[in-house]
Amino acid sequence: MDMKNLLVVYHSKTGRNARLIDAVCEGARDPEITNLDVRCLTAKQAGPDDLLWANAVILGTPENFGFMSGALKDFFDRTFYEVEGKMNPLPCAIVIGAGNDGSGALRSIRRIIGGYPLMEVQQEIIVRGEPQEDDLTRCRELGMTIAAGLEAGMW
Ligand SMILES: Cc1cc2nc3c(=O)[nH]c(=O)nc-3n(C[C@H](O)[C@H](O)[C@H](O)COP(=O)(O)O)c2cc1C
């Protein structure tokens, strides 16, 4: 079976989104799922080569000033033209840990990702305030679902 690659790109200032994304990656690295490489990078570390490597992408960010974090926006700014025309449509999922409902961050990401093109294949996860255990469970399940779908060739 072909090896598949999952790229996780996130920003976290005070650690909440990092905890959510740790859970996503834990789910994606479930020992039952083989033939999958998971690359988990901060938005500052990630670049165009990571997108060209990926078969699916999970994005994580706080909401800052009603928008995605500047770091995630910078990742998009740094990669868009570099990958334009070189990527097949990739499955994608979004995780947002915000102070309120996260809708501004979600809207801002959705305005951009279609151009890559990244296609959302799972319901977004939005966590308000401190992540609770059920939030981490949802994140683990999201990571596992994307990983299992990739392995099964769903997309
Ligand atoms: C500069 C700044 C602006 C923020 N603006 C918003 C906002 O517009 N809406 C919101 O819901 N939360 C806002 N927050 C709160 C963060 O989204 C929230 O605390 C989040 O859980 C932090 O995630 P992190 O711990 O991964 O950095 C803001 C936080 C900072 C530091």
Copy the structure tokens of residue 138.
């949802």
99 lines ligand 1 (CB under 6 A): yes
Tell me the CA–centroid distance for residue 73 and ligand 1, in Å: 15
Q: Would you say residue 1 has pLDDT above 80?
A: no
Q: What domain count does the chain have? A: 1
How much is the pTM?
0.98
What pLDDT, on the 0 to 100 scale, is given for residue 2? 86
Assess whether the C-beta atom of 14 lies below 6 angstroms from ligand 1.
Answer: yes
Q: Is the model's pLDDT at 54 over the cut of 90?
A: yes
Average pLDDT estimate for 109-126: 98
Helices (H), the chain: 16-28, 48-53, 70-83, 103-113, 133-151
Find the domain containing 57 and state its range: 4-151
Mean pLDDT of the chain: 97
CATH number assigned to the domain comprising residue 63: 3.40.50.360
Report residue 62's pLDDT band, with 50, 70 and 90 as the boundaries: very high
CA distance linking residue 114 with residue 63, whole number of Å: 20
